[in-house]
Amino acid sequence: MGVFFLGFGFHPAAWRHPASQIGGNPNIDYWIRLTKLAEQAKFDTVFLADFVGQAGGNARGLGRNPTGYNFEPLALMSALAAVTKNIGLVATVNTNFSDPFNVARRFASLDHLSHGRAAWNIVSSFSEGAARTFGVDKPLDHSSRYERAAEFVEVTKALWDGWDDDAFAQPNREAGIYYDSRAAHPLHHRGKYFSIDGLLDGGRPVQGYPVLVQAGNSDTGKDFAARIAEMVYCSAQSVETASAYYADVKGRLDKYGREPDDILITPGLSPIIGQSEQEAQDKLGELQDRVDFTGALNTFGVDLSKYPLDGPLPENLPDPDNGKGRFQQFKDLARREKLTIRQLILRFSVVRGHNLVVGTPKQIADTIENWFVNKGADGFNIIPPLLPSGFEDFVKYVVPELQRRELFRTEYEGRTLRENLGLSRPANQHARPVEEQAALAEELVAQVA
């Protein structure tokens, strides 16, 4: 179980609620408090999204939207690594606005700083604001961005494999040899998008590779997940939809030589908790009443402001270039339940397509158990609509109920994030046979003697 924190909470009106506490400027004490609470509750991960370059010079147009405007994810996760011991740290880095060497170096650093708790949320989305910010005149199309991201990840993994695990473990002071050159494997890569000759400035990550995380609901995104990801964030509003997604992604693994347990499916779950159903519904109403439809009418980059708010969703809307899978869910829900645009935004957009569960702690736990038992999820990405109270309620009331049902741990099982998730540690692609490793060890002993 992971938790996804946005500054005020996941609901777009959370920042307008009087119970929200964070101010406009970044506040490290706030994030430390939330992360320590998640670790106290034995969560696997804390996840931070990133909306890099969203303004694109259009500050006036975004003045009613508080999403983002906080710490750079890797910088924040490095600070959180110093004040936690067990919880995994998932940072988002967009492959369109960086390069494999820098990403490999930063995540290797975070993995060593945290003693093996780093994870990379791989994003390849491309907003208009980001294009302006980074001076990109001709962004790649949807499928090409995924293609580039796949090469990006493979190059990054090759850089992590540039050193044997024990390359720096036995410096020979007498002989003046800091490391055996045979422990280094410089990368010489020539691909469609990258051309690299290099060696990482630092040792292989503690986990081999940080855990690779991805979110994708489109067909291209699901195939990318099956090929590369080890944990998948996805959206579904019913157990039937979740189970179909689960089976689809797991069913694609075989063609990439992977097993079902090599990937964890963790749909988003946005809980609003009350001691009674009515109390929970009242809490939801307090947020829904504050929704600003001015900003909400731009959905997945599709402008709905020219259509009547209390009319139906128009037919033949153009597909966006980002969030294709979720936009299809958006349209399907509108057609299936004959919702107006206003109703659709309140049902779907306020939780970005995730499952909004409103009820008592027992009802929240029932939903979690039902999805898990019926193979709709290996776990969940908890997305509190309002912070900090929404997460405090989940930890206080729902986690004990899940533990009582023996669905969730009471203590961490391992030292690294991979160990706690039950994921194997990837072998170095340059790993030598056991016999050769033994011979090299004897040679080093002889050199010292």
For residue 373, the SS3 value is: helix
* 395, amino acid identity: V
Q: Which residues contact 431 (CB under 8 A, 6 or more apart)?
A: 164
d(CA 116, CA 405): 30
Q: Which stretch of DSSP H or E encloses residue 233?
A: strand 231-234
Domain 2-292+355-421 matching CATH 3.40.390.10: the answer reads: no
Q: What is the residue extent of each domain of the chain?
A: 2-292+355-421
What are the C-alpha distances in Å from 8 to residues 102, 305, 328, 386?
A: 30, 25, 27, 6
Place of tokens 């408090």: 33
Tell me the pLDDT tens digit for each residue of 80-102. Answer: 999 999 999 999 999 998 999 99
Q: Which amino acid is at 328?
A: Q
Contacts of 315 (CB under 8 A, 6+ apart): none
Instruction: Note the pTM of the prediction, 2 decimals.
Output: 0.88
Residue 51's pLDDT band (cuts 50, 70, 90): confident
Q: Over the chain, what is the mean pLDDT?
A: 89
pLDDT at 139: 84
Is the pLDDT at 338 greater than 90? The verdict is no
Tell me which residue has tokens 């750079």: 72
Question: Phi and psi dihedrals of 299, rounded to 5?
Answer: -110, 120
Question: Can you tell me the distance from the alpha carbon of 327 to that of 319, in angstroms, rounded to the nearest whole number?
Answer: 7
Compute the residue count for the chain: 449
Alpha-carbon distances, residue 257 vs 150, 213, 260, 359 (angstroms): 16, 18, 10, 42
**Interval 303-310 mean pLDDT:** 82
Q: How many CB atoms lie within 10 A of CB 102?
A: 11
pLDDT, tens digit, for every residue of 94-125?
999 899 999 999 999 999 999 999 999 999 88
Question: Position 19: which residue type?
Answer: A
Element (H, E) at 110: helix 100-113
Give tens-digit pLDDT for 362-420: 999 999 999 999 999 999 999 999 999 999 999 999 999 999 999 999 999 999 999 99
Which residue carries 């293609």 as its tokens?
147
User: What would you report as the CA-atom Rg of the chain, rounded to the nearest whole angstrom?
Assistant: 23
